[in-house]
Amino acid sequence: MSSTSPNFKRIEVAPAYQKVADAIEREIVNGRIKPDDPIGTESELVQQFGVNRSTVREGIRVLEESGLIRRDSSRRLYACLPRYNKLASRLSRALVLHEVTFRELFETAMILEVAAIEYAVDHATDEDIAEIALNIEKTEQSIANPAAFAELDAEFHILLAKASHNRVLQLAREPAGLLFFPTTEMVVRNVAEGMPRLIAAHHHLLDAIRKRDKQEGMVWMRRHVEDWRRGFERAGNSLDRPVERMYMEHALLAQQKR
């Protein structure tokens, strides 16, 4: 029998305010508290949880930042639908903490972006199509500004997901998208044909939506995401590097150039 004892990590006890926030969030996410349902006042929550006012106030602050609760003019608290960007940014931070790699982002994008165009072909409205067309026009006008170009590319993919009219898909793709699409600037700065190829792909994807041609849309999206992979590697990056590490290195390089 081995005499080596197992090594256990110390148990971290969550602070009381986080427990308050988690308890309320569970009720909202599980649907037991509906959007616009009253949650009560700070005083009422102090009594219900049996904690001091500062603990409740800090827990409420966490939930307000997440977009899960709001206050009215009388300071009463109400449940809200969580905002996409707040959920996405929290999940994006979790992905960074887990040291996800760009390969994982690429593989996920290949699935979710193809799904977005597939459903956009089926469900895009005339308004959706007009928004996407305007985005492409702005992208063509921003070729002298790689940062603006990259932002418009990210917006293009958000608009495609919106055109799918599937809110679960929109929520699912956003956290990885916040980490994946900023790399477009890195690619177009280092690969000469990056911008024209990206714009051409966007035009083909829009054409597929207009023609309601799902197969063409899926083919072009796969090419588009694969183009990102080639450009990313040609710019001197490795798909197997953790996201956080590479962003930190690029930030340091940018500081050194100033």
Query: Which domains, ranges and CATH numbers included, belong to the chain?
Result: 14-77 (1.10.10.10), 82-254 (1.20.120.530)
What mean pLDDT do residues 8-32 have? 79
User: What is the SS3 string spanning 200-251?
Assistant: HHHHHHHHHHHHCCHHHHHHHHHHHHHHHHHHHHHCCCCCCCEHHHHHHHHH
In the predicted model, is pLDDT for residue 254 greater than 50? no
The string of DSSP letters for 9-34 reads: PPPPPPPHHHHHHHHHHHHHHTTSS-
In the predicted model, is pLDDT for residue 61 greater than 70? yes
pLDDT of residue 76: 86
pTM of the model: 0.66
Instruction: Give the amino acid at 240.
Output: D
Percent of the chain with pLDDT over 90: 50
3-state secondary structure of 37: coil
In the predicted model, is pLDDT for residue 257 greater than 80? no
Q: Residue 172's closest CA among 229, 115, 231, 224?
A: 115
pLDDT of residue 36: 85
What mean pLDDT do residues 24-45 have? 83
Tokens of 73: 């003019």
Lowest average pLDDT, out of 39-53, 83-97, 125-139, 187-201, goes to 83-97
- Provide CB contacts within 8 A for 12, sequence distance 6+: none
